Amino acid sequence: MDELPVISVTELVTAFREVVETALPPCIVEGELSNCRKSAAGHWYLTLKDDEAEISAVIWRSAAAKLKFTPKDGMKALATGSLQVYVTKGTCQFSISRLMPQGVGELELAFRQLRDKLAAEGLFDESRKRPIPTIPRRIALVTSPTGAAVRDMIQVITRRWPPASLVIVPVRVQGEGAAEEIAKALGMVHRIPGVDVVITGRGGGSLEDLWCFNTEIVARAVAACKVPVISAVGHEIDVTIADLVADRRALTPSEAGEFVVPAAADIRESLRQTVDRIRSVLQGRLERFRLKLAAIQARSVMQRPENLVNQRRQDCDQLGERALRSLQLTVERRRQKLASLAASLQALSPLQVLARGYSLTLTADGHVLQSADQVKPGDRIVTRLNSGSITSIVEA
């Protein structure tokens, strides 16, 4: 026992690493993913397992950045990599350099995951999509300046609407960095004076060629663009995430040119029809006014206007006669009422009493005598008779 070497833990684990990492070359491991989690540094930590065994695995940030999809628990996958020993803890893990889902392609899985994620956020809802201007002031083409797509769009747009104003925002539409260029262009295109609609896209190609239009960065740039966006990617059968987020999808770049501007011939025909409708409406109104004027002219009052004057004169005479009769009747009623009042006053007059033989005696100052106590001997009094009066001196 004393002949055995004495080594440190570090030496032991290091030797273990050398044995493990050299004994098994890089390989592809088939298994199920579980315990998937992403660290703040961008590394993915997970477990590869089958029915009988499991092993810890890691996808370092450099490899994780190349993943098109998000690892999920329960996903069947093929993991390409090699065994590594984590010396600090003495544990063995499988370092994955490439991860391929089973049952569905990597890009198809990434497409489905991003589609479901953005749909849950409402980015595909029709309610948030904006209308395309009928006659845009200026159209921005965010695409490759050398591709066939940009030539097709320019040809279709200028043929349909010769005065169209176009500006090309050159970007790469495939390959590394293309998605970032497209997103950046969509984020600044509103700064170009007069631009009120954007077409972004490219011609046909493989799923890999079109992949930049299936990235989250482009999808969010389309949604955040401050002017309406038309997505025209590939052919009719190609549907990208950008198509679903855009305010309108065109099946091809040429179709985008078809509906981004009206056809000049259609506008001319529409204007001609509008002029015809206006002319027809005005002619109809003019004819109605002419008939109305003819009907007015045919009235008797227009034929013999003096009849209207005579009629009004006769009406005035009748009104005058009625007013005179009413006035006479009112005066007679007032006269009769006055006579009745006069007769009533006459009956109450003291003179009528005097006429029946009575007299009225007054003091010198005009007060009616009602009692002998009102005078004394020597006072002058006046007696009023029916005819005349007598002045007397009181003796007793």
| Per-residue model confidence as pLDDT tens digits over 115-125 | 999 999 999 99
Segment 250-271 shows an average pLDDT of 91
- Predicted confidence at residue 9, as pLDDT, reads 83
- Predicted confidence at residue 390, as pLDDT, reads 85
List the strands of the sheet with 166-170, edge to edge.
Answer: 166-170, 138-143, 195-202, 229-233, 248-249
pLDDT at 136 over 70: yes
Structural contact between residues 248 and 255, judged by C-beta atoms closer than 8 angstroms: no
Going by the DSSP 8-state scheme, the letter that residue 369 receives in this structure is P
The 10s digit of each residue's pLDDT in 367-379 is 777 777 778 888 8
pLDDT at 139 over 80: yes
Segment 260-279 shows an average pLDDT of 91
Segment 61-86 shows an average pLDDT of 86
Alpha-carbon dihedral 84, 86, 91, 96, rounded to 10 degrees: -40
d(CA 378, CA 372): 13
- Predicted confidence at residue 2, as pLDDT, reads 61
For residue 59, report the phi and psi dihedrals to the nearest 5 degrees: -120, 110
pLDDT at 256 over 90: yes
Segment 182-206 shows an average pLDDT of 93
Segment 330-356 shows an average pLDDT of 79
Segment 213-235 shows an average pLDDT of 94
- Predicted confidence at residue 68, as pLDDT, reads 83
- Predicted confidence at residue 97, as pLDDT, reads 92
- Predicted confidence at residue 352, as pLDDT, reads 66
- Predicted confidence at residue 45, as pLDDT, reads 92
- Predicted confidence at residue 130, as pLDDT, reads 95
Query: Could you say which architecture CATH assigns to the domain 111-262?
Result: 3-Layer(aba) Sandwich (3.40)
Structural contact between residues 247 and 228, judged by C-beta atoms closer than 8 angstroms: yes
d(CA 278, CA 356): 103
Flag the least confident range among 104-108, 253-257, 326-330, 340-344: 104-108
d(CA 236, CA 276): 39
Residue 11, SS3 per DSSP = helix
Q: Which fold has domain 9-103?
A: OB fold (Dihydrolipoamide Acetyltransferase, E2P) (2.40.50)
Structural contact between residues 153 and 256, judged by C-beta atoms closer than 8 angstroms: yes
Q: How many other C-beta atoms lie within 10 A of the C-beta of residue 357?
A: 8
- Predicted confidence at residue 233, as pLDDT, reads 92
